[in-house]
C-alpha cells in the first residue's frame, strides 16, 4: 500500500518537473510547427546552394549532413528543434528535461537525429506531438489537488508530506494558483502543518504561506482569517535560525501593506517576538537584520498611510533594543538599523526624548568614530555610505528634539 502511495507521489514530482522544463525548452519549438516545417523544407529542397537558418551557403546533397552542420554551427532555436526530434520516448525526453548533463549521451542523441532525413524528422515531430497529447499534461490545478490530497492524508510518510509541500511551494508562485489554493481546500492543511512535530515540515509550510501571500491581499486575508499569524509569531521564537527566519518571512509577507495583518500582529504580541530577536546576543545576525528590515517596512507603511496601528514602533523599550544594535560590529547591520531609526523618527507618534534617554546622540557619535577608525580598508567605501546615513539620522534627531 505504502509503495503505491510513494509511487504516485514520485510521478507527481516528475510531472511538475516535466511541466516546468518542457514548457520552456521542448514545447516551445513543438508549438511552432510553422517554423519547424520551414526549416525542414529548406533542408528537403537543398540540392544545390542552400541558404537557411542552418547556415548560409553550404553545399550538400546529403540532407542529414546539413542538419548535422546546423548543429555544429550552434544556431539556438534550430539546435533545440533537433534535440526535440531526437527523443524517441517520454523517458528520454524526461531525462533531458530534468537536466541530464552527460555531454556524451547528448552527443549520441544528437548524432541519432542527424542520421534522419527531413521526412523522417517531420514524422518524428508528429509522433512527439501525439505523444504529448496522449500524455495529457496535468494542469496546475490537477497537480495542486494531488498535493493537497496528500497533505490531508494522515497516513502518508513524512517524506511524502514534505514533497507535497515542496510541490505546493512551486505551484503557488503564480498569483492565479495562489488564489486557487483556498478554493481547492489547500490553505487549511498547509496551515495545520505549522504544528507538525517535524521542523522541516513546519519550515516548508511557513514558506508556502509566505510565498502564496506575497503581494496578494486576497490570500493574506484568507490566511489571517484562519488565524495562522499567532502560530507564526510563536515560530519566530524558535531556537532554530532557519525556522525563525522562515516564520519572519511568512509574517512579513502576510502583514505587508495590510492593515488587518498589522492589527493582528499587534494583538498577537508580535512586537515582543521582534524584540526578542533584536536583543538576544546569541541570535544569528542575519535573522536580526530581517527583523530590523521588517521594522523599517512597518514604520514606512505607517508613515505613508498615516495610520498608527502599531504603537510598539514608538515604544520606549522597543526603541532601546533598536538603538542598542548600533553597538555591534557589523556594517550591514548598522545600515539597516540606521534606516529603521530614520523611519521611526519620522513617525509623529515617536517621542524624540525617548531616543534621547537611550543616548542616541552618544551612540551615533561613537558609531562615527568607529566607522572612521575601525573599518577595514576593503570596506571603506561602504563605511562612507553608512556614515552619511548616520549623519542624516543625527540631523533628523536634533530637529525632532528642537520641535519639542
Ligand atoms: C493515504 O495514504 C496511504 C499510505 O500511503 C494510502 O494507502 C491511502 O490510499 C491514502 N488514502 C487516500 C484517501 O488517498
Ligand atoms: C507580550 O509579550 C511580552 C513578553 O513575552 C509579555 O511580557 C507581555 O505580557 C505580552 N503582552 C500581551 C498583551 O500578551
Q: How remote is the CA of residue 294 from the centroid of ligand 2, in Å?
A: 19
Q: Is the CB of residue 301 less than 8 Å from the CB of residue 252?
A: no
Average pLDDT over residues 214-235: 97
Q: How remote is the CA of residue 329 from the centroid of ligand 2, in Å?
A: 30
pLDDT above 90 covers what percent of the chain?
A: 50
For ligand 1, atom 12, the nearest C-alpha belongs to 153
3-state helix, strand, coil in the chain (%, to 5): 75, 0, 20
pLDDT of residue 356: 85
Residue the block writes with cell 521611526: 344
Q: How remote is the CA of residue 66 from the centroid of ligand 1, in Å?
A: 54
Return the ligand 2 atom nearest residue 269 CA.
Answer: 1
Give kind and range of the element (H or E) at residue 51: strand 50-52
pLDDT of residue 80: 35
For ligand 2, atom 11, the nearest C-alpha belongs to 269
Return the ligand 1 atom nearest residue 2 CA.
Answer: 5
pLDDT of residue 306: 78
Q: How remote is the CA of residue 3 from the centroid of ligand 2, in Å?
A: 48
Q: How remote is the CA of residue 156 from the centroid of ligand 1, in Å?
A: 7
Distance CA(90)–CA(136), nearest Å, equals 12
Alpha helices in 228-328 (DSSP H): 228-235, 241-255, 259-267, 270-279, 285-305, 316-324
pLDDT of residue 286: 92
Q: Which of 234, 236, 269, 274 to mutate to test the pocket of ligand 2 (most atoms within 8 A of CB)?
A: 269
Angle value at C-alpha 230, between 228 and 232, nearest 5 degrees:
70
Nearest ligand to the C-alpha atom of residue 158: 1
pLDDT digits (tens, 9 = 90+) for 330-384: 899 999 999 999 999 998 888 888 888 888 999 999 999 988 887 788 888 899 8
Nearest ligand to the C-alpha atom of residue 233: 2
Asked whether 53 lines ligand 2 (CB < 6 A), one says no
Decide if pLDDT at 148 tops 90: yes
> What is the band of 99 on the pLDDT scale with cuts at 50, 70, 90?
low
pTM strictly above 0.75: no
pLDDT above 70 covers what percent of the chain?
A: 71
| Average pLDDT over all residues of the chain | 78
Asked whether 269 lines ligand 2 (CB < 6 A), one says yes
Q: Which of 11, 155, 157, 163 to mutate to test the pocket of ligand 1 (most atoms within 8 A of CB)?
A: 155
Nearest alpha carbon to residue 148 among 177, 128, 124, 176: 177
Q: How remote is the CA of residue 230 from the centroid of ligand 1, in Å?
A: 31
For ligand 2, atom 4, the nearest C-alpha belongs to 272
Ligand 1 proximal residues by C-beta, below 6 Å: 1-2, 5, 149, 153, 155-156
Average pLDDT over residues 290-318: 87
Return the ligand 2 atom nearest residue 275 CA.
Answer: 4
State the burial class of residue 59 (Cβ atoms within 10 Å of its Cβ: 0-12, 13-18, 19+). Answer: exposed
Amino acid at each position: 500500500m505504502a509503495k503505491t502511495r510513494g509511487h504516485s507521489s514520485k510521478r507527481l514530482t516528475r510531472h511538475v518537473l516535466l511541466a516546468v522544463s518542457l514548457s520552456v525548452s521542448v514545447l516551445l519549438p513543438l508549438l511552432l510547427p510553422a517554423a519547424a516545417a520551414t526549416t525542414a523544407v529548406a533542408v528537403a529542397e537543398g540540392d544545390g546552394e542552400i541558404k537557411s537558418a542552418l547556415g548560409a551557403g553550404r553545399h550538400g546533397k546529403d540532407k542529414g549532413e546539413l542538419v548535422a552542420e546546423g548543429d555544429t554551427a550552434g544556431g539556438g532555436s534550430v539546435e533545440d528543434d533537433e534535440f526535440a526530434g531526437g527523443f524517441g520516448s517520454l523517458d528520454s525526453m524526461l531525462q533531458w528535461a530534468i537536466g541530464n548533463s552527460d555531454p556524451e549521451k547528448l552527443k549520441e542523441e544528437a548524432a541519432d537525429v542527424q542520421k534522419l532525413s527531413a521526412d523522417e524528422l517531420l514524422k518524428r515531430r508528429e509522433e512527439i506531438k501525439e505523444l504529448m497529447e496522449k500524455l495529457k499534461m496535468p494542469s496546475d490545478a490537477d497537480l495542486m489537488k494531488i498535493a493537497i490530497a496528500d497533505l490531508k492524508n494522515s497516513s502518508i510518510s513524512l517524506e511524502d508530506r514534505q514533497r507535497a509541500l515542496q510541490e505546493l511551494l512551486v505551484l503557488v508562485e503564480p498569483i492565479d494558483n495562489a488564489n486557487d489554493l483556498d478554493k481547492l481546500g489547500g490553505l487549511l492543511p498547509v496551515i495545520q502543518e505549522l504544528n507538525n512535530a517535524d521542523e522541516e515540515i513546519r519550515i516548508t509550510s511557513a514558506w508556502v504561506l509566505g510565498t502564496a501571500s506575497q503581494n496578494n491581499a486576497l490570500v493574506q486575508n484568507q490566511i489571517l482569517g484562519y488565524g495562522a499569524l499567532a502560530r507564526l509569531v510563536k515560530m519566530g521564537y524558535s531556537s532554530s535560525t532557519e525556522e525563525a527566519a522562515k516564520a519572519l518571512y511568512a509574517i512579513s509577507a502576510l502583514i505587508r501593506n495590510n492593515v488587518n495583518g498589522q492589527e493582528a500582529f499587534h494583538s498577537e504580541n508580535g512586537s515582543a517576538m521582534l524584540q526578542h530577536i533584536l536583543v538576544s546576543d546569541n541570535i544569528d545576525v542575519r535573522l536580526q537584520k530581517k527583523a530590523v528590515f521588517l521594522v523599517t517596512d512597518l514604520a514606512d507603511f505607517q508613515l505613508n498611510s498615516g495610520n498608527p496601528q502599531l504603537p510598539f514602533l514608538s515604544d520606549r523599550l522597543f526603541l532601546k533594543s533598536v538603538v542598542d544594535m548600533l553597538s555591534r560590529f557589523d556594517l550591514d547591520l548598522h545600515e539597516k538599523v540606521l534606516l529603521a531609526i530614520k523611519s521611526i523618527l519620522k513617525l509623529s507618534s515617536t517621542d524624540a526624548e525617548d531616543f534621547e534617554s537611550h543616548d542616541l546622540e552618544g551612540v551615533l557619535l561613537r558609531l562615527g568614530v568607529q566607522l572612521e577608525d575601525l573599518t577595514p580598508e576593503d570596506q571603506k567605501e561602504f563605511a562612507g555610505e553608512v556614515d552619511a546615513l548616520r549623519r542624516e539620522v543625527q540631523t533628523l534627531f536634533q530637529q525632532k528634539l528642537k520641535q519639542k
